[in-house]
Amino acid sequence: MNQKDETFRISMRDFINGPYIKCPKCGKMSFGILGIYDHQYSRRCRDCYYPHPSKNESSVVVQLPSLNKKVIYLDQLCISEITKFLNPLTKAHQAGKVDHFWGVLFGKLDELVKLQLIVCPDSDFHKHESLLAPFYDGLKRIYEHLSGGVSFYDYETIQRFQILRQLRKWLKEEDIRELNVHTITEGNINAWQDRIYFSMQGYQSQDLIDEIRSNREKVADGIEKIFNRWQMEKNKDFSYWYSEERDAHARLLASQHVQYMKNFLSAAFGLIPFHVGHFLHDMASTLFFEIKECLQKSGIIEDQLSEKLQEFLLSEDFKNAPHIVISSMLHAAMARRAALGRKRFPTRGYMTDVHIISTLLPYCDAMFIDNESRSLLCEEPLNVEVARYKTRLFSISNRDECLHFLDEIKFQASEDHCRAIREVYGDDWPKPYWEIFQGKT
């Protein structure tokens, strides 16, 4: 098949968009938006190119109001159903089996993103879960579109940050750095978005996809065994399982570190086949290295580092890391249900849901999650812990509340804010991007 070479010529004119106002130099209604930056935008004439850099004409830059966007996390089910609703190439769309709610939800989310009122950061969970789906490119298109270039750090990094902050509390350091949504994300949450964003289409290794699928199956099989145990232990209560889960985190990290060291030494001495993974620090080993480094800086001598490390791992400060508290509560709540007679195993994505919620909930204004996770978080005492963070929880079971929440955000926008939106983007800008998959194959 012959391919025709095509040449595209791009000039500065192509990057100047409306809304247009009267040019101060040539007088034409062609003084448009050249670029939108974090807190300002610039104008240039599409006809005379005023202000032109080669003529030493000063740039026309306008400052924009500060933003305070709501952070909303959308779980993979939400991204998947929105994609099916919008993408005519998916089987569910063609069969007419997608709930109209997902179209309504996308319309409100997209409008609020364009109004610079919310941001829906993507995460490594989105990337990994999307790789297992038959329409990866479509999923990626949706979660990147709604994220506005903002991504959460990978969950292990955020968990390390939480534990290291707890370590500094344990050491009674002063001026402990606050851990908030701005310190665990890439990209400026409260930046005004440009009209154009770039997305890289990276190579998706089949080995990576197979590894993600295999690990998920192993974890799911492990959860089934644990669930069977929970069903048998009817004499145990929530407090018992919560305490057991909190204690288990330190043991798990220690065992992971020991396994890493065994693999590292065995590979180094040629006792097992070489694999690059044997020489890359895992989360536990990286964390232990950072903990010892902090202990040394606090004045702990070399001979006492291991003892102090162990002491910290057994402390209440360690166990009070947000992801440890929340994940332990979720497991304890599931154990309580099993002991009370639940027969059905947790879904195969249960552990992924636990990782997402326990890691990201403290930093979100709202989360759209699956029905079961939300119902667990609404039980006592989990609801008390969630209330500490003031995070709104939505799922299919309270979909109307979710839509009302989004309407409230729009209603609360000031007239000055709306005026700035029209000034920078134009009157039609907030219209949802229903054609996002138009012409896509």
- Give the model confidence (pLDDT) of 109-138 as tens digits: 999 999 999 999 999 999 988 887 788 889
Q: Which residues, other chains included, contact 410 with Cβ-Cβ below 8 Å and sequence gap of 6+?
A: 108, 111, 112, 115, 117
Q: Does residue 299 sit in helix, strand or coil?
A: coil
Judgement on whether residues 101 and 183 belong to the same structural domain of the protein: yes
Q: Is residue 4 part of a domain?
A: no
On the question of pLDDT at 313 being above 60, the answer is: yes
Judgement on whether residues 32 and 96 belong to the same structural domain of the protein: no
Judgement on whether residues 347 and 285 belong to the same structural domain of the protein: yes
**Torsion 268-273-279-282 (CA) sign:** negative
Judgement on whether residues 192 and 291 belong to the same structural domain of the protein: yes
On the question of pLDDT at 299 being above 80, the answer is: yes
Q: Is residue 426 part of a domain?
A: no
Q: What is the dihedral of CA 199, 203, 208, 212, to 10 degrees?
A: 30
The 10s digit of each residue's pLDDT in 213-222 is 667 777 777 7
Judgement on whether residues 39 and 176 belong to the same structural domain of the protein: no
E strands, 222-374, are 366-368
pTM of the model: 0.90
Judgement on whether residues 41 and 106 belong to the same structural domain of the protein: no
Structure tokens at 14: 């192509």
DSSP class of residue 302?
Answer: G
Judgement on whether residues 27 and 168 belong to the same structural domain of the protein: no
- Give me the DSSP letters along 90-105: SHHHHTT-S-THHHHH
Burial classification of residue 35, based on how many CB atoms lie within 10 Å of its CB (0-12 exposed, 13-18 middle, 19 or more buried):
middle
Q: In the beta sheet, which residues pair with residue 45?
A: 31
Percent pLDDT > 90 in the chain is 68
Higher pLDDT among residues 156 and 273, named by residue? 156
Phi, psi of 394, deg, nearest 5 = -130, 155
CA geometry: angle at 428 spanning 23 and 14, to 5°? 50
Judgement on whether residues 193 and 258 belong to the same structural domain of the protein: yes
Q: Is residue 128 part of a domain?
A: yes
Judgement on whether residues 35 and 112 belong to the same structural domain of the protein: no
Q: Is residue 324 part of a domain?
A: yes
Judgement on whether residues 135 and 279 belong to the same structural domain of the protein: yes
Q: Is residue 30 part of a domain?
A: yes
How far is C-alpha 240 from the geometric centre of its chain's CA atoms?
32
pLDDT, average across residues 152-178? 94
Q: In terms of residue numbers, what domain contains 267? A: 67-414
On the question of pLDDT at 407 being above 80, the answer is: yes
Q: How confident is the model at residue 56 (pLDDT cuts 50, 70, 90)?
A: confident
Judgement on whether residues 308 and 217 belong to the same structural domain of the protein: yes
On the question of pLDDT at 264 being above 90, the answer is: no
Structure tokens at 355: 């990782």
User: What rounded mean pLDDT belongs to the chain?
Assistant: 89
Total tally of structural domains belonging to the chain: 2
Q: Is residue 1 part of a domain?
A: no
Phi, psi of 82, deg, nearest 5 = -65, -40
Structure tokens at 395: 């799922």
Residue-level pLDDT at 1: 42
Q: How confident is the model at residue 339 (pLDDT cuts 50, 70, 90)?
A: very high
Using CA atoms, how far residue 342 sits from 228, 329, 356, in Å, is 10, 17, 24
On the question of pLDDT at 356 being above 60, the answer is: yes
Judgement on whether residues 178 and 129 belong to the same structural domain of the protein: yes
Residue-level pLDDT at 91: 81
